[in-house]
Every structure is written in C-alpha cells, then in structure tokens.
Structure 1
Amino acid sequence: MAGVSSCMKYSMFIFNVLFWMCGCIILGVSIWMRVSKAAQEDLNLDSSLFSAVDLMIAVGSIIMVLGFLGCCGAMKESQCMLILFFIGLLLILILQVVAGILGAVYKSQSEIDLCDLFSVTILPFHPSISPLLQNQCCGLVKGSEDWGSNFNSPYGNFKICECAEKDQNTDLCIFYSNRYIYKKPCSVVVIDFFKHHMVILMGIAFGLAFIEIVGLGFSMSLYCQIQRK
C-alpha cells in the first residue's frame, strides 16, 4: 500500500507553521493593544474600540489552534487532528462566503447598520474624535446635528466642520450657520471609501480564501494518504 508523501507531509507542516505564526502575531499584538495603556494612548484607542480588539484576540487564538492542529496532524500523521483542522478551516471559509453573500444581498441594510453602529459606539465620544474622521466630512450620521452644542467650538485653527478655504466653492461644502461646512456626514465618507476600495477588499478576501483552500487541499490529501497506508 502507498505510504504518506514526505513532500505533502512537510508542505502541510510548513504551511501550518506559517499559519500558526500569523495567529501568534495577531494574538500578541491584540493583547498588547488591549492591556497596554501606552499602546492605547499611542493608537488613540478608547473603550468603544475594545470589542474590535477582543475580536482580533479571538481570531488570533483560533488561527493558532488550527495551526497547531495542522502541524501536529502532519508530523504525527494523526487523522483526528487533520480532520479537526479541515473542519475548522472549512467553517471559516463557509462563514466568509456567507458573509460576502449577505453583504451583497443586503447591501443597503448593511449601510444602515453601519450608520447605527456609528450612532451607538462612536457618537457618544464625538468631542474627542480623531481629526482624521473630520477630513472633508461633518459629524458622524446626521451631519452638523451630531455636534450639538459643540458645533461652534474651535477645532484647531477652524471651527468644527468648517471647510478649508480651497474647498469652500466646491460641492463638498454648504453655507450653514454663518460659515461653510462640509455637507457629508463621516459615515457616508467611510461607506464611500469602502465602495471605492472594494477591489482591494475583494482581493484580500479572495487571497484569504485561496490560502484556506490550499490548506483544505493539503489536509484532506494527507488524511487520505494516511488512511490508505
């Protein structure tokens, strides 16, 4: 009976070592961001973003576990570990596909949900929002209304939402409350950004899917070879 291909075995091992290392990096950086006060200050992280960091910790942990299963399954020729690796990776791939389909089908609802997310998680912190969010946009969801009583407060060398002089006569601005302000809410700008960079995002998604399919192929091929021994 045919034995296990050494090439397949070590290819699977190397693939999963890299996979495991990626998980370690994601987990390590995420934990550092979560517990280090210095990191939170340097990266301007506040409690509203901790849920995203927690998600990264979970993702890093899952990748590490899958990488470990793949490595040990390949070297020990363990069918149990290989099938667990295969199932875990397959579930991740299915979730990605489902998320992509739902995102395409419920595109308009996704935009509404994103606006709701802005309202719930970011809007309460709007007085301390990074200046990057106020680049050619005003407020988060409802424009100038989001700033409330802070609307006439100074914001660096300008007042909040005030257009730069070069933009005042463009479609970016409207005249409101005795000054030119940017008319688009920042949630709209963020959505437009994702729309304009959809090709890059799709490329990343397809790249991840390709890597996952390669991992699935390695694990199932090795599993079958072990079974035929």
Structure 2
Amino acid sequence: MGANAEKKDRCGTVCLKYLLFTFNFLFWLAGGAVMAVGLWTLVKKSDYISLLSSRIYAVSAYILCLAGVIVMVTGVLGCCATFKEKRRLLRVYFVLLMCIFLLEILAGVLAYIYYQQLSDELKSNLKNTMVNKYKQPEQDHVTQAVDKLQQEFKCCGSHNSSDWMESVWVRTSESGKRVVPDSCCKTPMELCGQRDHPSNIYKVEGGCIAKLENFIMDHLKLIGAVGVGVACVQIVGMIFTCCLYRSLKAEPY
C-alpha cells in the first residue's frame, strides 16, 4: 500500500512538473509579447507622449516593459526550479510571479484611470501645446510630434485649422506668411501652408483632438488588456507552483 501511494504521489509530481514547464514556456512567450507592446508604445509612438501633460500613458508602457523583462527571466527560472525540484527555487519563483502579477495589475489600473481622464486632458492642453510651443526654441520634440500627428491622422489644428490663427509661430515673420504649418497640407511642400483652402489642407471634424483621443484610447485598452490578461494567467502558474512545492519533500538544511 505504501509503495502504491508513493508511486501515485510521484506520478502526480511528474504531471505537475510538465504542466508547470508548459506554463513557463507559454509564460516566457507572453513576457515577450508584453515587452513588445511596451516598447512599441515608447519607440514608435513616443512623439505623441510629448503632447500629453500627464505621464501616466508613458508610465504604463514602462511598467509593461519592466514586467515583460522580469517575466522572461522568471520563465527561465521557473523551468530550472521545476526540473531540479528545488523548493527554494520554487519559493523565489513564486515571489517573482507575485511581483509581476502586481506590476501588470498596476499597469492595467493606470491605463484604466488615464482612459477616464484622457478626453478632458486633451481638450484643456493640446491646443495650448500646439499654438504656444510649435516651432519655438528648445521645443523641437513638440514640433516633430505635431507635424507627425497632422500628417499621420490627416488633421489640422487641435479642434480645426483656425486654431493656428492663435499660434505664436504663425504671428512671426519666421512663418513665411503661412497660416497653418505645411504638415496640414494634403500634399506637403515648402510654403504650402500659406493657403488654408479645404482643397489644400485637411479639414477634419473634431480636429486632431478627436483623432489622437481615439488612437490613445484604443492603445490604452490594449495596454490594460495585456496587463490584466497576463496577470490572470499567472494565477494558474502560482497554483501549479504551490501544488508542486507541497508535493516535494522538504530539503535538508
């Protein structure tokens, strides 16, 4: 009877080992995906971050990058702990899983909070940023972001093209008698912004605010879903870890 019970326990331990190994492999892939989403936000869309007064959007992306790196390292540690059957390694692995879980939940919560306040922030700050910082000294990052925003989303001005009448840059001789930046033009070329006729520039209802708001809201949904989704999957990993930990004999000290 004792031998049979021990054999069953051993079979259960082996099954748990392979389940946890499979989880760790998938977890490692998920870590790469999480890090990729964070890096894509920071590298490809970093220009738009400079147009936002709040840093929550960027912080959420940084948290995802950090969590992704830790996830990939933890996945390797989890595989080692599983096959070596070391209770101490499993304890470290469980603690790391818990830390990643909290980081990803935090990223998801921050994305949700910022999602709620994004519209008000853009309405109160985007126009001020565009008309007061565009083409101004030491504001090259803002200038590049505005030009990219207007060309990529085919819009002109925060609410509409007439917003540029209040621009500090447009009122100076440096504008070359432009009434809007050249990036507002459907076919950008030098001094094309001198003519603001609808046939020449983008006239979009809601202006760039509506376009940028929709883009960031969609991306915040992605950040939140990735963070919370992977965190929920980790609960399965923590359960497997606890089960394997309990099935292993205590290590002698």
TM-score, length-normalised on structure 2? 0.55
Structure 2 residues without counterparts, runs of 5 or longer: 1-5, 51-57, 130-138
Is 1:224 the counterpart of 2:242? The answer is no
User: Are 2:226 and 1:209 equivalent residues in the alignment?
Assistant: no
Out of 23, 27, 44, the position equivalent to 1:15 is 23
Q: 1:153: which partner in 2?
A: 182
Is the 2:156–2:207 Cα contact (8 Å) retained in structure 1? Answer: yes
Aligned mate of 1:83, from 80, 91, 102: 91
- CA distance in 1 between partners of 2:34 and 2:228 (Å): 20
Say how many residue pairs are matched.
205
Letter of the structure 2 residue corresponding to residue 181 of structure 1: K
Residues 1:69 and 2:74 aligned together: no
3-state SS, counterpart of residue 213 of structure 2:
helix
SS in 1 for 2:248: helix
Q: Which runs of 5+ in 1 are unaligned?
A: 35-39, 166-177
Conserved in 1, the CA contact under 8 Å of 2:31 and 2:71?
A: yes
Counterpart CA distance in 2 for 1:186 and 1:61 is: 34
- 1:166-224 CA-to-partner distances (Å, cap 9, x unmatched) read xxxxxxxxxxxx97732534344233345568877665455323322222222222122
State the secondary structure of the residue aligned to 2:203.
strand
Query: Do 2:28 and 2:71's aligned partners in 1 also have CA atoms closer than 8 Å?
Result: yes
Q: CA deviation at 1:61?
A: 2.4
**Which residue in the other structure is 1:138 paired with?**
156
Q: Secondary structure at the match of 2:85?
A: coil
- Indicate the percent of aligned positions where both proteins have the same amino acid: 25
Alpha-carbon deviations, 1:58-83, whole Å to 9, x = none?
44421221111111110111222222
Computing the radius of gyration from Cα coordinates, the structure with the larger value is: 2
- Residue in structure 2 matched with residue 182 of structure 1 by the alignment: 204
CA distance in 1, matches of 2:241, 2:109: 26
TM-score (norm 1): 0.59
The letter of the residue matching 1:138 is C
Would the alpha carbon gap of residues 140 and 93 (structure 1) be closer, same or farther in structure 2, given more than 3 Å must change?
farther
**1:152 CA drift (Å):** 4.8
- Distance, in Å, in 2 between the alignment partners of 1:201 and 1:29 is 7
